[in-house]
Structure 1
Amino acid sequence: MTEQSKSGRTRGAGSGRRRKQPAGRRKAPILISGAAAVLVLGGAGLGYVYLRLDGNLQGVDINAQLGTERPHDVDNGSLDILVLGSDSRSGDNREYGEDEGGARSDTAMVVHVYEGHKKASVVSIPRDTLVTRPSCTDGQGGTVPGERRAMFNTAYEVGGPACAVKTVESMSGIRMDHYIEVDFTGFKKLIDELGGVEITTTQAIKDDKSHLDLAPGTHTLDGEQSLGLVRTRKSVGDGSDLGRIQLQQAFMKAFIDQVRSVGVLSNPAKLYGLADAATKAITPDSELDSVQKLTGFAKGLSGIGAGDVHMVTLPVEYDPRDLNRVLPLEAQSRQVWKALGNDLPIPASATRDTATGKADGLVK
């Protein structure tokens, strides 16, 4: 079954494939590639449990909340997905602390899948980035006023997923095709179902807040340790969110490799456990809110391995008015978004001489 978009584009449900257009007309938390790969590994074998797994998925109708005032959606075969990891402390996540003013996007990645779906670029947006947040419509239909010098992660806090998407689209000029949100508890359970993720640390990492204590060397991290790693901040690099992003990017690559190496085709129980955990861990947009849609979408990403993913952090500098915040470097950020908008690799010059967090190479 297909659906016709307002722009006249017809696409298979959940596939997000775009038809090729002339050049220049262009307009994987952590779980995007992993959850997709888990579902692809099972293929049609998931059919007998589709109904049960569908009950795990609750979609968010981003398109309805954003309306028509969005970047132009021009087809060129690529995909752009906003992946958020929420730091909500409600429910099972309460062990990480009490809510302080509501949930925020603890992790934000724009995943750009290039035409042909063989390679991808990931742009991490530091949560402490100061941006001009546009006015938004929240999930209840209310209006949230815009704000200058707002922390990026407040967009999710005040206006939910749609406001986060609108803020990213405002920053980048690129329309997001999909949205996927990752839950702390679901993330841990998925890692445990996988049997852990193997990483190598080049230095000791000890962080009391994230409850992580790793000696230098190779480790197979369980869910609790994995969550600790991607949330570690104060004890690595310069102690900023930028250092944490470098840990997240290294872990994401290890996670993708682990998912691809798991032999689930010959183990239906393992397959179901992984698919159950993956679908419980995410909240997708309404175009991916069934196993059938999500699996169709995932098949288009199945050829992408860790070595095919180029990861960068949005070019930023520390804010001279508040060193706990960062500001986008305008010229270099434009390079990043322009490259992705035209389905081109991000040039090395875009991320040269930017603030890094000084945790690169700590995890392999």
Structure 2
Amino acid sequence: MLKAVGLTLAGTLVPGIAAAGWAYWHLNGNIKSVDINSALGDDRPARALTTPSASASAAASASPRPSGALNILVLGSDSRSGKANQALGGGDSSGARSDTAMVVHIDAGRTRATVVSIPRDTLVTRPSCPLASGGSTAVAYGAMFNSAYSVGGPVCAVKTAESVTGVRMDHYIEIDFSGFAKLVDALGGVTVTTDEDIDDDDSHLHLKAGTHHLNGKQALALARTRHGIGDGSDLGRIGLQQNLVKALLERISTQNLLTDPAKLYEVADAVTDSLTTDTGLDSLTELMTLGKSLGGLEPADVRTVMMPVVTAPSDPNRVVAKEPAATTLWESLR
């Protein structure tokens, strides 16, 4: 997804100066942001150490590779209110939830990435979080991980993720699920393979086991489905979501976006219109810089895993981090 953002935006200047100027203004205006650093202050895990590249002094490269690792909290926010979202399989509830949470770790050379999914049903200690309206939330013990977003938005989501993992989140990216559907459609669909039949009335998805080319509405239903697979828990859905991310990366890698300005703009508009970031990534320039640094990262270089969990002793429908495996995983990303 990060590569999609960067590569699509990197080409917005292709169709002439006047058109590109308007495109830049429009796409830049699509992006929403939250000043997470100011809200959280210094009471956070330390940043990853940044060391000079071994070849930095050997040559003055025009575009040297970044030398520090990055950890980015990526949330899929699932708003189910409004006609558009209800048409995409939403219910009658209002507001938004962080139904998908992934920590994306990009290594210092930008040659490998690890995507760690955190189950939304994980019970955690949710720290006190500052509120935009003033004051703060109370510490909550045994709270579901995704409750952080519900009570305190992106700021609380980041603080809770950092509390659980001990890892500094250098950036925050939130992708609205309805925008995700538009992105898939802009790319001409995505091809996925399922190992079992999916029959989920809640997400409105009914698929036989096998390979399918999905449109945006179907891909979103796949990302949402949980009751039609496995034991109906969030853990089965995470496997589908990770396969979907890989399939999306494969689809992007096969598109000649930079040679098709109209398609490029359609994809870039879909990406930015669904995007909320921290203030360090809230402009096209910053997103392009990140995207260009990921130019050598191929789908095969992306590893997807799930935070190790076990059934919660207090509730068979919830999970808790499995130790020491979870701590070992997070330590490898610091």
The normalised TM-score by structure 1 is: 0.82
Contact 1:183 1:281 in 2 (8 A): yes
2:85 is matched with which residue: 93, 99, 111? Answer: 93
* Aligned residue in 2 for 1:5: none
1:240 is matched with which residue: 218, 228, 233? Answer: 233
Query: Which amino acid in 1 is paired with 2:81?
Result: S
Query: Which amino acid in 2 is paired with 1:62?
Result: I
Note the C-alpha offset of 1:292.
Answer: 1.4
Matches within 5 A, 1:51-70: 51-70=25-44
Q: Does 1:79 align with 2:70?
A: yes
> Aligned partners of 2:74, 2:273: CA distance in 1, in Å?
15
* Aligned residue in 2 for 1:327: 320
Note the C-alpha offset of 1:128.
Answer: 0.3
Note the C-alpha offset of 1:211.
Answer: 0.8
Contact 1:32 1:83 in 2 (8 A): no
Note the C-alpha offset of 1:226.
Answer: 0.1
* Aligned residue in 2 for 1:344: none
Relative distance call for 1:90 and 1:36 in structure 2 (3 A) is farther
Matches within 5 A, 1:37-48: 37-40=7-10, 42=11, 44-45=13-14, 47-48=20-21
* Aligned residue in 2 for 1:34: 4
Cα-to-partner distance string for 1:194-231 (whole Å, 9 max, x where unaligned): 00001122322221111111123221100000001011
Contact 2:223 2:240 in 1 (8 A): yes
Contact 1:50 1:292 in 2 (8 A): no
* Aligned residue in 1 for 2:65: none
Query: Which amino acid in 2 is paired with 1:273?
Result: E
Contact 1:34 1:255 in 2 (8 A): no
Note the C-alpha offset of 1:322.
Answer: 1.1
Matches within 5 A, 1:208-357: 208-341=201-334
State which drifts further: 193-202 or 126-135.
193-202
> Aligned partners of 2:277, 2:205: CA distance in 1, in Å?
29
> Aligned partners of 1:298, 1:32: CA distance in 2, in Å?
7
Unaligned runs of 5+ in 2: 51-67
State which drifts further: 230-239 or 110-119.
230-239
Find the residue that maps to 2:72 and give its secondary structure: strand
Cα-to-partner distance string for 1:214-263 (whole Å, 9 max, x where unaligned): 12322110000000101110111121100000000011000001011111
Note the C-alpha offset of 1:34.
Answer: 3.0
Note the C-alpha offset of 1:98.
Answer: 2.5
* Aligned residue in 1 for 2:55: none
Unaligned runs of 5+ in 1: 1-30, 342-364
Matches within 5 A, 1:113-262: 113-262=106-255
Query: Which amino acid in 2 is paired with 1:190?
Result: L
Contact 1:174 1:337 in 2 (8 A): yes
Note the C-alpha offset of 1:282.
Answer: 1.2
Contact 2:126 2:160 in 1 (8 A): yes
Note the C-alpha offset of 1:45.
Answer: 2.6
Find the residue that maps to 1:210 and give its secondary structure: coil
> Aligned partners of 1:73, 1:201: CA distance in 2, in Å?
39
Note the C-alpha offset of 1:326.
Answer: 0.3
Note the C-alpha offset of 1:54.
Answer: 0.9
Note the C-alpha offset of 1:94.
Answer: 4.1
Note the C-alpha offset of 1:43.
Answer: 6.5
RMSD: 1.5
Query: Which amino acid in 1 is paired with 2:14?
Result: G
Contact 1:37 1:260 in 2 (8 A): no
Note the C-alpha offset of 1:69.
Answer: 0.6
* Aligned residue in 2 for 1:14: none
Contact 2:48 2:168 in 1 (8 A): no
State which drifts further: 53-62 or 31-40.
31-40
> Aligned partners of 2:101, 2:80: CA distance in 1, in Å?
17
Note the C-alpha offset of 1:112.
Answer: 0.2
> Aligned partners of 2:150, 2:26: CA distance in 1, in Å?
31
> Aligned partners of 2:257, 2:7: CA distance in 1, in Å?
11
* Aligned residue in 1 for 2:61: none
Find the residue that maps to 2:33 and give its secondary structure: coil
> Aligned partners of 2:175, 2:232: CA distance in 1, in Å?
24
